[in-house]
Amino acid sequence: MGRRRSEPEKAPNHERWLITYADLITLLMIFFVLMYTISNVNAKKFAQLSSSMSQALLGEKSGYFIGEAQGPLIVDTEQAAAAKTEAANMEDALEKLKKYIKEKGLEGQVEVGQEERGLVISLKEALLFSIGSADLTPEARKVVADVGQVLIKMPNNIRIEGHTCNLPINTSRYPSNWELSTTRATNVVRYLVTQVGLKPEVLSATGYGEFRPIVANTSEQNRVKNRRVDIVVLKSVFNIAEPGKG
């Protein structure tokens, strides 16, 4: 059998690189379009978040940090309004209590102020109890009732915290400062519910013994400051830490 005659070779195509080049340009264009789109979305979301947080925390309208992005707020305007109302209620209660303390001459026996967790009314032991006792004195009942009337319409959770100094106690009724501080807090809760009319579901009692002093227990003057019951009106943001609250 004879050899097949070889076919003539085709001339090389010198323009094939154009196809690869066109594909590369197309991919690069798509890449930059995606990067630009992602960049714009993030900036818009960040701007919305900045504005929303400003409204929620400051209770006022503020500008965007990035650009002039528009769109629905991440933090609902109703939540911002609720936070503003709560802050106003706290401030109103604070001013009423300050006025009450001044009118009744209770400076040094009752202190009130705002902390990050909420409104704190601190009642000193000398006003509320006899030494080593958890029974409210007649004067204490009147003061607790008056304070309760200021707080009764507030929807916030209220925590009653009992505190002692570091002097030990060991009686048949109170083996340690844990029992004494807890019983004092519980008695204040009971009085607020039964005599003032606060809702029991917003109240809680806890005893810290001598372990949450506000000053060092290095003198009797300091120990007097540490022996106290704090009424803490918690901001609603802390509801998540309360059982059954969201």
pLDDT at 88: 96
Amino acid at 203: L
CATH number at residue 235: 3.30.1330.60
Domain count, the chain: 2
pLDDT at 49: 56
Residue 134 is assigned to a structural domain of this protein: yes
**pLDDT tens by residue, the chain, 246 residues:** 555 555 555 656 556 666 677 777 887 888 777 777 666 555 555 565 556 555 555 555 544 444 444 555 455 688 889 999 999 999 999 999 999 999 999 999 999 999 999 999 999 999 999 999 999 999 999 999 999 999 999 999 999 999 999 999 999 999 999 999 999 999 999 999 999 999 999 999 999 999 999 999 999 999 999 999 999 999 999 887 666 655
Give the Cα separation of 193 and 81 in Å (integer). Answer: 30
pLDDT at 14: 59
pLDDT at 39: 63
The verdict on 167 and 91 lying in the same domain is yes
pLDDT at 17: 62
Q: What pTM was computed for the model?
A: 0.70
Q: Are 110 and 127 in contact (CB under 8 A)?
A: yes
The verdict on 35 and 133 lying in the same domain is no
Dihedral angle over CA of 218, 222, 226, 231, nearest 10: -150
Last residue of a domain, one of 20, 54, 75: 75
The verdict on 138 and 181 lying in the same domain is yes
Last residue of a domain, one of 52, 75, 98: 75
The verdict on 159 and 223 lying in the same domain is yes
The verdict on 110 and 93 lying in the same domain is yes
Residue 87 is assigned to a structural domain of this protein: yes
The verdict on 233 and 125 lying in the same domain is yes
Last residue of a domain, one of 75, 91, 123: 75
Range of the domain at 218: 80-241
pLDDT at 64: 44
Residue 204 is assigned to a structural domain of this protein: yes
Question: Quick one: three-class SS letters along the chain?
Answer: CCCCCCCCCCCCCCCCHHHHHHHHHHHHHHHHHHHHHHHHHHHHHHHHHHHHHHHHHHCCCCCCCCCCCCCCCCCCHHHHHHHHHHHHHHHHHHHHHHHHHHHHCCCCCEEEEEECCEEEEEEEHHHHCCCCCCCCCHHHHHHHHHHHHHHCCCCCCEEEEEECCCCCCCCCCCCCHHHHHHHHHHHHHHHHHHHHCCCHHHEEEEECCCCCCCCCCCCHHHHHHHCEEEEEEECHHHHHHCCCCC
The verdict on 58 and 135 lying in the same domain is no
From the list 154, 142, 40, the residue with the least C-alpha distance to 90 is 154
The verdict on 32 and 134 lying in the same domain is no
Could you give phi then psi for residue 173, rounded to 5 degrees? -90, -40
pLDDT at 77: 83
The verdict on 118 and 138 lying in the same domain is yes
pLDDT at 23: 75
Could you give phi then psi for residue 120, rounded to 5 degrees? -120, 120
